[in-house]
A and B are shown apart, each in its own frame.
Chain A
Amino acid sequence: MVDTQPLQIPRPPSVLAVQGLSLKLTDRTLLKGIELRSFEPGITLVMGANGAGKSLFLRSLHGLLPIEGQVSFAGRPLSETLAEQAMVFQKPTLLRRTVWQNMTFAAPSGSTDAEIENLLRQVHLAEKALEPARLLSGGEQQRLALARALLTRPRILLLDEPTASLDPGSVSIIEKLIRAASDAGVKVIFVSHDIGQARRLASEVLFMHEGRVVEHTPADRFFSAPDSIEARAYLSGELLIKPQTTGSPEQ
Chain B
Amino acid sequence: MLADAFVEAFSLIASFNPDLFEILLLSVRVSLTALGVSVLIALPLGAMLAISNFPGKRIVITCLNALMAMPPVVVGLLVYLMLSRSGPLGALGLLYTPTAMVIAQICLITPIIASLAHQTMEDLHQEYAELFSSLRVTKRRAVPIYLWDARYSLITSVLAGFGRAVSEVGAVMIVGGNIDHLTRVMTTAIALETARGELALALALGIILVVLALIVNAAVMYTRTYAQRRAYG
Contact = CB atoms under 8 A, between A and B. Distances in A.
B149 A132 contact: no
Nearest to A136: B231
Contact of A62 (B134, B149, B150): B134
A95 interface: yes
A105 B133 contact: no
Nearest to A148: B135
B135 A132 contact: no
A105 B134 contact: no
Contacts of B181: none
Contacts of B133: 63-64
In this complex, the member of A64, A93, A152 whose beta carbon has the largest number of chain B beta carbons within 10 angstroms is A93
A97 B134 contact: no
A95 B145 contact: yes
Nearest to A62: B134
A135 B230 contact: yes
Contacts of B149: 95-97
Contacts of A87: 134
Contact of A134 (B130, B134, B148, B231): B231
Contacts of B136: 82-83
Contacts of B134: 62, 64, 85-87, 89
Interface in B142-169: 145, 148-150
A235 B135 CA distance: 35
Contacts of A173: none
Interface string A113-157: 000000000000000000010110000000000000000100000
Interface of B is mostly: helix
Nearest to B152: A96
Nearest to B131: A93
Contact-size category for A = 10 to 19
A96 B135 contact: no
A135 B148 CA distance: 18
A96 B131 CA distance: 13
B232 interface: yes
A61 to B, nearest CB: 12
Interface in B114-147: 127-128, 130-131, 133-136, 145
A106 interface: yes
Interface in A13-56: none
A134 B133 CA distance: 20
Contacts of B127: 93
A57 to B, nearest CB: 15
A97 B230 CA distance: 9
Contacts of B230: 132, 135
A135 B131 CA distance: 19
Nearest to B128: A93
A64 B132 CA distance: 11
A209 B135 CA distance: 29
Interface string B84-120: 0000000000000000000000000000000000000
B145 A132 contact: no
Contact of B232 (A83, A86, A134): A134
Contacts of A96: 149-150, 231-233
Contacts of A89: 130-131, 134
| The 10 A-B residue pairs with the shortest CB-CB distance in the complex, in nearest-first order | A134-B231, A93-B131, A96-B149, A96-B232, A132-B230, A87-B134, A135-B231, A132-B231, A64-B133, A106-B135
Interface of A: 62-64, 82-83, 85-87, 89, 93, 95-97, 105-106, 132, 134-135, 152
10 contacts: A64-B133, A83-B136, A85-B134, A93-B127, A93-B128, A95-B128, A95-B149, A96-B150, A132-B230, A135-B230
